[in-house]
Amino acid sequence: MDNLADIAQAVATCTKCPLSEKRTHAVPGEGSPNSELLFIGEGPGQKEDEQGRPFVGSAGKFLEELLSTINLTRKDVFITNVVKCRPPGNRDPEPNEVDTCTELYLYKQIAIIKPKLIITLGRHSMYRFLPETFKISQVHGKPFRRKEQVYLPLYHPAAALYNGGMRQTLIDDFKRIPKVLEKV
Ligand code: URA
Ligand code: SF4
């Protein structure tokens, strides 16, 4: 599995964790393989499970709006999730499911894409890379360097969508991405 297409193919038929049992389509992720930015959400929701594509529901629309504020489209970046199959009823993914899926797929995607900046969306994605960061409300919008990789934790667009304060915070944090990228 040394290219993104091979990974996507393996994800499509993966049965390595219990999330395979109830999914319709696995969602490997998509976008530019050369992107400097890698966005990592939590897991597919209903629309994503139906279509096999990441962030195509209401949170995805909002993410596209946010990208447009920094003159990017979803084709310019790479977008994926810590788990590639929808947790039933949109429950939180279990730690063992996240462990299995990231070990098998996400870390390989990162190694291939080699993003300058990994942007985590929401708590689950943040804790995978920044386990010691404590509260997303305290660290959102602040870049962290771990080994050679820089991470920027942001609120999840689904959480921010209907929460006025969080929504504006996410919009403001997003506008800082180009500056953070410049400094990496
Ligand atoms: N929420 C996520 O975390 N990921 C998606 O792909 C869609 C909604
Ligand atoms: Fe495989 Fe990941 Fe889907 Fe689990 S969530 S079945 S590990 S692709």
pTM over 0.75: yes
Write b or e for each residue in 157-177: b if 16 or more Cβ atoms lie within 10 A of its Cβ, otherwise e.
bbbbbeeeebbebbeebbeeb
- Separation of CA 26 and ligand 1 centre (Å): 12
Q: How far is the CA of 57 from the centre of ligand 1 (A)?
A: 8
- Residues of the chain whose pLDDT is less than 70? none
Nearest-CA residue for atom 7 of ligand 2: 101
pLDDT digits (tens, 9 = 90+) for 59-96: 999 999 999 999 999 999 999 999 999 999 999 999 99
Q: Number of H helices and number of E strands within the chain?
A: 10, 6
Q: Which domains does the chain have, with CATH numbers?
A: 4-183 (3.40.470.10)
Phi–psi pair at 146, nearest 5 degrees: -130, 120
Pocket lining: 29 vs ligand 1, CB cutoff 6 Å: no
130-138's contacts with Cβ under 8 Å and 24+ in sequence apart are none
Question: For residue 11, how far is its CA from the centre of ligand 2 (angstroms)?
Answer: 7
- Nearest ligand to the CA of 8 is 2
**Structure token pair of residue 72:** 């990017």
Q: What is the pLDDT of residue 14?
A: 98
Residue recorded with tokens 């080699």:
114
